[in-house]
Structure formats: structure tokens, C-alpha cells
Amino acid sequence: MEIHRLTGALGAEVTGVDLADDLTDETVAQIRAAFNEHHVLFFRGQHWTPEQQIAFGQRFGELDTHPFVEGNDAYPEILDVITDPDDVVNFGGGWHTDVTFLPEPDLGSILYAIEVPEHGGDTLFANQHAAYDAMSDGFKGLLDGLRATHSAGPQYQEGGYSTRSKQMRTKNPELAAEHVVHPVIRTHPENGRKALYVNRAFTTGIVGLHPHESTALLRILHEQTTREAFTCRFRWEPGSVAMWDNRSVQHYAMFDYAGKRRHMRRVTIKGDTPV
């Protein structure tokens, strides 16, 4: 197995490993170490059954199910992420970190490409450690101790962005308005580094600030989290896999392939309470 760094900001491509194999503990430990270092890993030329994808994900922790989107009928841990030719939106569009509206957001996501358009449909990733590190000490001090509210409402209440995707079967809209509170700056439990932990999709406000103050501060933070210098971009092929760390990464599924079909298969690994 070889690991090739993709950009200066984040990301690495892993070669020489077949993820459908019964991997040794040593190989899994190498992948996990690379995951903590590079934040998103890419594998090409993989051939997974649903059972094999689930088995790989379980090597890194217990798998989660989505509270607002129906999973695969036979495998509830699997989320089939499908965009049809007549869709006007895509699932995962816009910068976000997965399920920060949960008290214990997912540790990471593992996405497998089954069908992709000839061009378009790339996914962008942004390193939130780098976003934090690049801020001034004064601004870091301003953010230290601040907490933010997160909610699934903008995406999963009636009329929310993610409910408009025709192939994604959403559910429980009455629960989507609930809020949780997480630190604006979280510390990664494995690598010990600090990261910005707000995102456009689910962060709804800063605790203790007036609404106009909260809006202004979040605008600054959202710009910081997705600066070009902190990003990488992945072009999908059938059989490609991306595995990203939700504790340190935001991502954006580009929708520049209108009229084409895209089918991805995702599993997510349960996480812990951000601190």
C-alpha cells in the first residue's frame, strides 16, 4: 500500500490495496493513521458489494443511520445518494459537515461511486484545521469558548433544500427543527488539533450574541472555512472511494451535470460529542 499526498492543504490517494479484501489489522491501522493525517483519503478501482462496504466501515467504528433520509431497503446503514436526470438539486450540494445537528455527529463518511457522469459531479473538501490555524491569535481568542447552535431544519423541514431531491426519500420533518449546541472550535480527539466547527448548512447561530452579531460573525467564519488555499477537489470514476473526517473537513458535492444520472453509496461511522 502506498499513500500519495494530493495537495498542500489536505487529501491523499491510496494505492495498492483492495478494500474488498479481509484487511489485516496492520493495514487498517495504516489507513487510520493516514486518515488522521490527511483528513480525506481517495481510492480508485474498487469493487464493493454492499456487504463489503459495510464491513470496511465497521473496521473504523459502529455505523450510523441517517435520521432524516431513508436508507437502502436491504441495508439501512447504506445511503444511496442518487441524482436523476430530471433533478433540479443534488443531495450534498453546498459546503457542509455531515450531521452536525446530532449531539454526537458522525466521525466520518465513506462514499463509493457506482455511476457518475462523464464530466462534472466532483466533490470539494476543505481542511478546517488549516482554516483555524490561519486565523490571527486575536481572532482565535475571540472565538475561544463560543458555542453555536446547529439544526437540520434548513435542510430537512418541509421545503428544505435536501427534501427537493426526487430520489432521496426524506422523513421526520417535524423533528428537524430541534437544535443542539457545539463549540465553535473543536479539538480533534485523535490528532489533538483544533478546527473550526461551523458550517453553512446546519449552523444557525452563535449562543449569547444578538442576531445581527451572530450573522456577521458566521459570515466571516463561513468565508474562512472554505478559502481556496484550504481545499482539494476529487474527480470521480466508477469504483472510486472517498473517506473523509467529519471532525476536520467540510465538503461540497458539485451539481454541474444537470440532465445526467449519478449514483453513489455511502456509509457513515458514529462519532462522539465535540469538545
Asked if 251 contacts 123 with a C-beta cutoff of 8 angstroms, the reply is: yes
pLDDT at site 5: 97
For residue 144, give the 3-state DSSP assignment: coil
For cell 443542539, name the residue.
Answer: 180
Q: Render pLDDT for 166-218 as a digit per residue (tens, 0 to 9).
A: 666 767 777 778 899 999 999 999 999 999 999 999 999 999 999 999 999 99
User: pTM of the predicted model, to two decimals?
Assistant: 0.94
pLDDT for residue 170 = 67
Task: Identify the pLDDT of residue 23.
Answer: 97
Do the beta carbons of residue 41 and residue 12 sit within 8 Å?
Answer: yes
234: β partners: 123
**DSSP assignment of 61-122:** S-B---SSB---SS-TT-EEEEE-TT-SS-TT-SSB-TTTTSSS--SEEEEEEEE--SS---
pLDDT band at residue 160 under the 50/70/90 scheme: low
Q: Where are the domains of the chain?
A: 2-269
The mean of the pLDDT values for the chain is 94
Q: What is the dihedral of CA 13, 15, 19, 22, to 10 degrees?
A: -130
pLDDT at residue 93 greater than cutoff 90: no
- With H, G, I as helix, E, B as strand and everything else as coil, classify residue 235: coil
CA 108 vs. chain centroid, Å, equals 7
Name, in order, each residue with C-beta under 8 angstroms of 46's C-beta and a sequence gap of 6 or more.
18, 19, 20, 112, 239, 240, 241
Q: Does the pLDDT value for residue 37 go beyond 70?
A: yes
pLDDT value, residue 233: 97
β-partners of residue 147 are 183
Return the CATH architecture of domain 2-269: 4-Layer Sandwich (3.60)
Portion of the chain with pLDDT greater than 90, in percent: 85
Long-range contacts of residues 215-221, Cβ cutoff 8 Å, at least 24 apart: 218/148, 221/184, 221/196
CA 249 to chain centre: 7
**Catalytic residue set:** 96, 98, 251, 266
The conformation of residue 120, written as its DSSP 8-state character, comes to -
**Pairing assessment for the beta strands 249-253 and 123-127 based on DSSP bridges:** antiparallel
Whole-angstrom Cα distance, residue 26 to residue 91? 35
Q: Which residue has the cell 455511502?
A: 266
Region of residue 259 (left: phi > 0; alpha: psi -120 to 50; beta: else) = left
